[in-house]
Amino acid sequence: MANRIVLISDDSDFFDYIRQKLELRKSDELFSFSFDEIPEKIHLLTTAVLIVNSENTQDKTLGLLKITKGTPSMICAYNEDDIFKRKCLREGAFDFMSILTPDADFRARMIPALSTASILEKNELYREILVKNEYLSTNNEVFLNYNYLIDNALLKLNDTQGRAVFGAIAPDDKTKFLIKPNMIETAILNNIRRNDILMNYAPNKYFMILFDSDIKSAEKLWSKINSQIQQKLYAGFITITNQNRQQLIDKALDKLHNAINNRPDSANLQTAPINSLNNISANENYTTFKMFRQDFKHKIEKIITPVFYQIQQKYSGKLTGVTLEQGYGEGYGTFYIKGRTSISCFRITSPGFSKINIDITRQKDSQNIDAKRITLEPEELEAGLLEDLLEQFISDYKGGGK
């Protein structure tokens, strides 16, 4: 594989000096730029070894290191300035050498840098494949297929007996359309560690896994992230113990929407999945069956119908070989995904005067039917939660095939 080496200096004599020290092959690529040319050529740096002349350009060198983190950068100086050397290494420099470093030593120290650049080039190729297949976002390290990632993380944690925190993140309905694309994910990625995972499950809405962490640390990190974004964001964190993927998602979304709604009892719901909320006593506001039915009818008109319509419009024509349908009646609303050989149903009903049930069924054939139920308090059924559950419903269908 060809090596790509980029020389950066404001002194043209440096280029000739370094070329003599390198043992280049015919297939190797060598580029030379001044510091002022870098913004235009930044795309050449991601999978290359950088050799940077820091003589009289210490501030420029440190600035360059800030925008090329992860790229193997060899910093050359005319003397062993220990203070500047430490600054460079803290900013991510791969190595620091004097201009008087012997040729043999110079070439030996180039070998691990070239190996790292080769790995980065392969990773770039793998990334293109992941983006093409819609597993990874185009601009940032945000994963789109969260089902596989969560399952894989749970297996890893079980095998290593590790600890981690799972979180659901979203703005409220009033501000979600004010947030610019990539704003949330950029702020999060700038603050989490490389092994932590950020996953997108709906526009401006994310799941996150923080390894070797606890709730207190996650909340402290979230407070820092929130201070860097103008619009208010909300998060619901739970400790990963022995839950399965669906239990994690249900609990985290419940915590998230409790935070959005400012529910005073939200802190007590950390270990209670959504479908266990039917143990909570009925809301005293619903003293009669008639009042509840009127309220549920209002929810169908003001919440369920608009959200169903919005999701249908969003995915219409984007799911190959399926049709999306809605249905309504006295005391129910239904959203269907109909494929060639399968049908999935998301049905909201009001069985009494204290609860709202969401029944999700998926029928692959007459002998293969999956079903689950989520039970909510009446006040919990709001547009944001319903939108999240529908997005998850569609994502599960896509992940399971047609």
Over residues 114-162, the pLDDT tens digits come to: 888 888 888 778 778 777 776 777 777 788 778 888 888 888 888 777 7
**pLDDT reading at 3 higher than 50:** yes
pLDDT value of residue 346? 93
Report how far apart, in Å, the C-alpha atoms of 10 and of each of 42, 52, 259 are. Answer: 16, 10, 53
Name the burial class of residue 10, with classes exposed (0-12), middle (13-18) and buried (19+) by CB atoms within 10 angstroms of its CB. Answer: middle
Q: Highest mean pLDDT range out of 174-183, 345-354, 386-395?
A: 386-395
For the stretch 341-388, pLDDT in tens is 788 999 998 866 567 888 888 887 656 677 788 888 777 788 888 888
Query: Diameter of the chain by CA atoms?
Result: 89
Mean pLDDT of the chain: 80
**pLDDT reading at 265 higher than 60:** no
List for the chain the helix, strand, coil content (%; round to 5).
45, 25, 30
Structure tokens at 261: 């709604």
Structure tokens at 148: 């596989």
Does the predicted TM-score (pTM) go above 0.75? no
Per the rule left: phi > 0, alpha: psi between -120 and 50, beta: everything else, 145 is beta
The residues pairing with 169 across neighbouring beta strands, listed in sequence order, are: 206, 235
pLDDT value of residue 160? 73
pLDDT value of residue 159? 77
Residue 120: in which H helix or E strand, if any? helix 103-132
Question: SS3 for 4?
Answer: strand
CA distance 169 to 232: 11
Residue 244 main-chain phi, psi, to 5 deg: -90, 180
Domains and CATH numbers, the chain: 4-132 (3.40.50.2300), 146-272 (3.30.70.270), 289-400 (no CATH)
pLDDT value of residue 60? 92
CA distance 249 to 238: 10
